Amino acid sequence: MATSLPYLALRTFVEVGQRGSIKAAAEALSVTSGAISQQIRLLEDRIGMALFTRERSGLRLTEAGASVHPALLQAFEQMQEALQSLEQIKSRQTLTVSTVATFAASWLVPRLGRFNLRYPHIEVRVEATSAVADMRRDRVDVALRHGLGVYPNLHVTRLMAPVLVPVASSALVAASAELTQPQDCLNFPLLHDSDRADWSLWLSAHGVAKDPRAERGTAFEDDFLLIRAAEAGQGLALVPMEYAREEIAAGRLVQVLDKPWPARFAYYVVTRPDAMQRDEVKAFVEWIMEEAQGTT
């Protein structure tokens, strides 16, 4: 069975040995001189030998005391450093943000550097996943969700509604039929997201009669894959302008018609009801709302 260490007595021994004075050690530990003397006696009684000799100038370590004092001094210094490390970890503010990969790559991550510059003491961890985060079980602080904004028992703030634009590879458009009106899109293969609804709604919003061709074509779970398929010339895609901006600028995609249309679903900032009381969550939500206003 391990014997418990007399921590206070050892700490007192280190201070007295380092300073050579009971009074100085008492001041360093914020206790009385009597308390210091008592701890030294307890330690000497426990080990059965003297650790100090009293001299006119103060206390001097005995041979036994001098042999162990450096190691104990180093041990207490290491414990102090370890405690400081724990305090630094506690004071460091961390934030976990969950969102879909396409939104993270196309919109959030390119802007995140501005948040880091403004709040260098807050560490952000981005989880890019299509799974809906459980705000309590998954320890997610902020979720950027794409939907209708109905998230029971959570604090919900509307962030932005993407504007959808029809895009395609320039090679596909150049090699195919004329494309000047919304109804002309039906002459091309159409690429869809997973619910296959956007093309029908977009065409209807632009006066095109209902047509079964609007629901045909390959569907993709993620907008990133949808954009890659359009780049590869597989068809026309209806995607958020922010997602395709880089590809359009680089010439990998072209916006085939100047017919933007607000998506049915918007992006929402979702947190637990009490999360906004934390400074780092409040700072991130306020920052991302500023960023969204700058893109609308």
What local confidence, expressed as pLDDT, does residue 184 receive? Answer: 92
Quick one: which H or E segment has residue 285?
Answer: helix 279-293
Closest C-alpha among 106, 108, 227, 225 to residue 159: 108
Superfamily of 163-262 according to CATH:
Periplasmic binding protein-like II (3.40.190.10)
Ranges of H-type helices in 232-277: 241-250
Residue 279 contacts residue 93 (beta carbons within 8 Å): yes
Residue 235 contacts residue 189 (beta carbons within 8 Å): yes
E strand map for 56-168: 58-61, 93-99, 122-128, 142-147, 155-160, 163-168
Residue 216 contacts residue 190 (beta carbons within 8 Å): yes
Gap between the Cα atoms of 64 and 277, Å rounded? 56
Q: Give the model confidence (pLDDT) of 26-44 as tens digits.
A: 998 999 999 999 999 999 9
Superfamily of 93-158+265-293 according to CATH:
Periplasmic binding protein-like II (3.40.190.10)
Equal CATH topology for 93-158+265-293 and 163-262: yes
How many residues appear in the chain? Answer: 296
What local confidence, expressed as pLDDT, does residue 1 receive? Answer: 37
Gap between the Cα atoms of 146 and 266, Å rounded? 6
Gap between the Cα atoms of 70 and 61, Å rounded? 11
Pairing verdict, β 142-147 and 266-271: antiparallel
Residue 171 contacts residue 235 (beta carbons within 8 Å): no
pTM assigned to the model: 0.59
Residues 7-90, CATH architecture: Orthogonal Bundle (1.10)
What local confidence, expressed as pLDDT, does residue 42 receive? Answer: 93
Gap between the Cα atoms of 223 and 245, Å rounded? 13
Structural domain spans, the chain = 7-90, 93-158+265-293, 163-262
Residues of the chain falling short of pLDDT 50: 1-2
Q: How far is CA 242 from the centre of its chain?
A: 22
What local confidence, expressed as pLDDT, does residue 89 receive? Answer: 66
DSSP string, 263-275: -SSEEEEEE-TTG
Quick one: which H or E segment has residue 236?
Answer: strand 236-240
Bridge partners, residue 74, by sequence: none
| 242 Cβ contact list (under 8 Å, min separation 6) | 106, 107, 162, 295
